[in-house]
Amino acid sequence: MPINQQILLDNRPKEEATVSNFKLVSSETPALKDGEVLVKHHYLSLDPYMRGRMNDSKSYTAAQALGEVMGGGTVGEIAESKNPKFAVGDKVVGMGGWQQYSVVDGNAPGMLRKVETQYIPLSAYLGSVGMPGVTAWYGLMKICEPKAGQTIAVSAASGAVGSVVGQLAKAKGCRVIGFAGGADKCKYVVDELGFDACIDYKAHPDSKSLYKALKDVTPDGIDGYFENVGGVILDVVLSRMNAFGRIALCGMIAGYNGAPVPITQPQLLLVNRITLRGFIVSEHMEVWPEALKELGTMVAMGKLKFKESVAQGIAAAPEAFIGLLSGKNFGKQLVKLN
C-alpha cells in the first residue's frame, strides 16, 4: 500500500488563519478490508466554509478535530478495490480530505459517487458540477426565485459559487449585477460570464462610494441577492432592495475571523418586507439530482463557464487556502495532488 501524505489541523486560529495552523505528515495507507476501496485523489477542493470548521465554536457543522486530516471534497480514481461496485480506474467524487489517498467503505451511502469525464472535466465535479454549483442552484432557484426581467445581485461573483449564480440567473432572463475584488475579476465576470455589470469593491473604500456605484447599475433596484460575503456589501445591497425582495444567505466570509459584522440598517428588512434565509446545501440533498443534471448539461454544452486556480501538490494546500480567504484565488480554488 502507498505512503500517504496528509495535512492535519494542528492548532486553532487565534484570529486570522495561518499556515502554521496546519501540519504535513506521512503515514502508511492501511490494507483494504472487504467492501473497501482505495481512492487516489487527483484534486482537492478548498472552500470558505472550512475556515468556520477550524474554530471550536457552535456552528451548523461539527468543528474540525485537532490532529485529524482536514476535511474536504476530492475527486480521483479507484486505485484498488475490494468492492464489486467499484472497479480500478473508476473516476469518483467524495469527501476524502486533505490527503493523497483515502480508504473508503464503498457500501456506505453517499460516501463515493462515480462520475463520467467524457464531456465534463474531472475537476468540475468539485466546482460547477459539485457542491459549489448545487449551492448556487439552490440559493438562486429556491430562495431568490428569479423571474425574467428581474435584477439579481451576487457577491464574490468571480468565485466558484457566485459565477454559477450569475450565469444561471442570466439563463433565466434576469439582469445580473456582481461584486468582485479587482478590475481583472470584474472584466472576467462581464466579458466572459455575461453579467450585465460588476462592481469592484476594492475601488470603493467607503460605503457611500460603494452605494453610488451600485445605484448607478441598479436603476430599478434589486429583486434577489445571493450573499457570500456580508459586511458593507450587504449594507449597500439592503439599501437597493425592492419590496418583497429575497436574499439567499450562503456565506459571511467578512466575519470568519471572529470580528462582529453588524447590519447598520436592519429596519430595511421590515420596510421592504424582505425575505432573508440562510441555508446549508447539504441539508437539501433532495434537490441534488435535479441541480446536478442541469449544471452538468450546461457545462457539457459549453453554456456554463468556470475558471480554476490550481495549486500544485499537497504541501501547497495551506497557503492556497489562506489565499482563498483573502481573495487571492481567481475562480474555484483547487489543489492538484497527482
Listed in sequence order, the residues at least 6 apart from 48 whose beta carbon sits closer than 8 Å to its beta carbon are: 228, 251, 253, 256, 324, 325
Does residue 261 have a pLDDT over 80? no
Among 139-143, 203-207, 218-222, which is the least confidently predicted range?
203-207
CATH number belonging to domain 131-282:
3.40.50.720
Instruction: Give me the pLDDT at residue 48, please.
Output: 87
Options 2.60.120.380, 3.40.50.1100, 3.40.50.620, 3.90.180.10; CATH for 3-126+307-336 is: 3.90.180.10
pLDDT digits (tens, 9 = 90+) for 152-184: 999 999 999 999 999 999 999 999 999 999 999
For the chain, what's the residue count?
338
- Residues 252 and 250: their CA atoms lie apart, in Å, by 7
Annotated domain spans of the chain: 3-126+307-336, 131-282
Other CB atoms closer than 10 Å to residue 291's CB: what's the count? 21
74-81 and 91-94 as β-strands: parallel, antiparallel, unpaired? antiparallel
Does residue 242 have a pLDDT over 80? yes
Instruction: Give me the pLDDT at residue 197, please.
Output: 98
pLDDT digits (tens, 9 = 90+) for 28-74: 999 999 999 999 999 999 998 898 889 887 666 778 899 999 999 99
